Amino acid sequence: MTEESNNPYDICTWRPASECEGCSIAGQLKCRFNWGDLLHFMAMFFAFAIPAVIGVIRGGYGWYLLGWAAFLMIFFQLWEIRILCSHCPYYAEKGRTLHCIANYGSFKAWKYHPEPISKAETIQLIIGFIILGGYPFPFLLLGGQFAWALVAAWGLFLFFWTLRKYTCSQCVNFSCFLNAVPQQVVDEYLARNPVMREAWEASGWQAGGER
């Protein structure tokens, strides 16, 4: 399969890398898949999840981790992938599997949505993140695992802090509420991606506006 046939929405992230030569925003975005970015994301998530799992098991509530695992499956495979990822340029690649720097390997049950994330989706996303990050803590506290709760809380803080500083500041899913890419870079990316730009304009976006 050629790279072109793999890119039905003509998103520059999925064009041949040779077309990035001369791009004025090259290096300012995580706009091409990179294993280092994916591994960094996973390492930061596990720095929170591993102490949380250890603490919950030590506290005698290990079986309740099945509920967390089920939520993670539903959230990343069905819910979050619709309200967040389906709007992302990485999602626009042809095929049923997501190849991106965070949710790599997830099944793409939904179609690509080039328009920005809506307010209702943002609210759902915040609720989902609260459940995702908060789930282990009641069990850590009920089990008396205060030290592990502190380590997990620190891991969760570091996860979001590094995510916001090093990923959200360069992430191509610009309409996410955590996204911190400068407006001028967003404008330039959209100028290179007509399908996205048209969908954004139809939603009221204007180049040169405020973020």
* CB-based contact 54:148 (threshold 8 Å): yes
Residues 19-58 that bind ligand SF4 (CB under 6 A): 19-20, 23, 25-26, 29, 31-32
What x-and-dash track marks residues 89-118 binding ligand SF4 by CB under 6 A?
Answer: -xx------x-xxxx---------------
Separation between Cα atoms, residue 136 and residue 54, nearest integer Å? 10
The site for ligand SF4, by CB under 6 A, has a size of 23
192 binds ligand SF4 (CB under 6 A): yes
Instruction: Tell me: does residue 207 bind ligand SF4 (CB under 6 A).
Output: no
Give the shortest CB-50-to-ligand SF4 separation in angstroms: 20
Q: Is 97 helix (H, G, I), strand (E, B) or coil?
A: strand
Burial class of residue 36 in the structure, from the number of CB atoms within 10 Å of its CB (0-12 exposed, 13-18 middle, 19+ buried)? exposed
Distance of alpha carbon 2 from alpha carbon 7, whole angstroms? 9
HSE (CB half, 13 Å, CA atoms) of 55? 25
Q: Which is nearer to ligand SF4, 68 or 108 (CB)?
A: 108
Q: How many CB atoms lie within 10 A of CB 57?
A: 17
Cβ distance to ligand SF4 smaller for residue 87 or 136: 87
CB nearer to ligand SF4: give 49 or 88.
88
- The residue with tokens 């404008």 is 187
State the residues that interact with ligand SF4 by CB under 6 A. 12-13, 19-20, 23, 25-26, 29, 31-32, 84-85, 88, 90-91, 98, 100-103, 173, 189, 192
